[in-house]
Structure 1
Amino acid sequence: MAKTVFEKAFLQKDINAILVLSLEKLNQSIDDLLWRQAMEHGLSPLQIRLLLIIRHKAEIFTASQLAAELNVAKATISVALKPLIEKKLILKRKSATDNRASALKLTEWGEQIAHIAGFYFEPLYQLIVPIDKSEKELMLKNISGILGKLNALKK
């Protein structure tokens, strides 16, 4: 019987499996930072991500575009957007070019929340700062390569 990644990491000390589990732990740590920030504002992590994306992307986002950006169902985005609109963090206006679509824009309050929430990565950023530039470039190259291959698997 084939061994799982967990068995390879813990029983065989397979470096590839250990890296996979380390990336999962990193993901959990980042999610924890995001959860803490979301809870401070009475929002979900997805809602924080939506505010950040709408704030930092130049183009106007529709629910469909946000769903594609986050790789989730449009219905999931619609459910997450409703409280943001009700809390007056986002304005939703009918698109001038497509009556079925709505353009999304942050309100002033939404901008403030998105700005504050954007600092959730700061602890991780501070851990990366002292790493040697050449090591960071290698990390970035490897992580980008892994992400590219993972995205290709989805197609």
Structure 2
Amino acid sequence: MGKVSTFSPEQQADNTSSKVVAALERLSEAFRVLLWQEATQYGLSPIQIQVLTYLLHYPEEKRTVTSLASYFNMTKATISDAVKSLEQKKYLVRKASVTDTRSHSLQLVKEGKAIAKKVERFAQPLEDSVAQVPVKEQGVLLEQLMQLIYQLNQQEITTTQHMCFNCQYYSLKKGHYCSVMKSTLKQADLRLDCTHFDVRMEEA
């Protein structure tokens, strides 16, 4: 007899890991629902909202189709289609690189920044729910989720995230430790996307 499905209630009853996976799947459904609701309200697709939000917060050198594709684990073609649509809506423009004329950074125009600031609020209900969890437990939850993400990175299911566990400056010699900040990090101090990030040499 084959392995019982993770999504079988019978399997979940006595298998904690199956229940965790099912719970994560329910959370991903909530994320999708909120994203679709926001997309419908503003006449955008879910990926267009994610692109707008990304461009609102990340530095110019990371505002490229290649960076977006890596960040969202999508093909360049899919991201290019979303970018083209946002261009047609006059939310962004392409800016040629000074050093490489074949490369362009993506720049939000005034209207694009305005709509990005509106649509990025789609995840607020999720953040409000997390805020109800005691602060100390939020740190524990963050660490556990980052461990799961790290394992998926290691299996090459998702692209390497710019977080502590993938960074050459991070170590566990003194607890969670960052050699750039020269300090031990509490669980809540761990970063999922850090400006100091530099990939570990073995992953480069």
Counterpart amino acid of residue 83 in structure 1: S
TM-score, normalised relative to structure 2? 0.72
Give 1 or 2: higher helix fraction: 1
For residues 73-111 of structure 1, the C-alpha deviation after alignment (integer angstroms, 9 at most, x for no partner) is 111111111110011101112211111111111010000
**C-alpha contact (below 8 Å) 2:60/2:106 kept by paired residues:** no
Gaps of 5+ in 2: 158-204
Q: Which has the higher contact order (CA 8 A, sep 6+)?
A: 1
2:197 is aligned to none
Structure 2 CA distance, aligned partners of 1:110 and 1:116?
10
1:151 to 150, 153, 166: 153
Task: Measure how far apart 1:142 and its partner are.
Answer: 0.4
SS at match of 2:55: helix
Q: Say whether 1:114 aligns with 2:133.
A: no
Counterpart amino acid of residue 23 in structure 2: S
SS at match of 1:154: coil
Task: Measure how far apart 1:46 and its partner are.
Answer: 0.3
SS at match of 1:93: strand
Gaps of 5+ in 1: none
Identity, % of aligned pairs?
31
Map 1:93-104 to 2 at 5 A.
93-104=95-106
Counterpart amino acid of residue 64 in structure 1: T
For residues 20-76 of structure 1, the C-alpha deviation after alignment (integer angstroms, 9 at most, x for no partner) is 011001001011101111111111100000001111012341211211111111111
TM-score, normalised relative to structure 1? 0.94
Structure 2 CA distance, aligned partners of 1:22 and 1:33?
17
Structure 2 CA distance, aligned partners of 1:59 and 1:142?
31
Q: Say whether 1:11 aligns with 2:10.
A: yes
For residues 90-145 of structure 1, the C-alpha deviation after alignment (integer angstroms, 9 at most, x for no partner) is 11122111111111110100001100011111111111112111111111110010
Counting matched residue pairs gives 153
For the aligned residues, what is the CA RMSD? 1.2
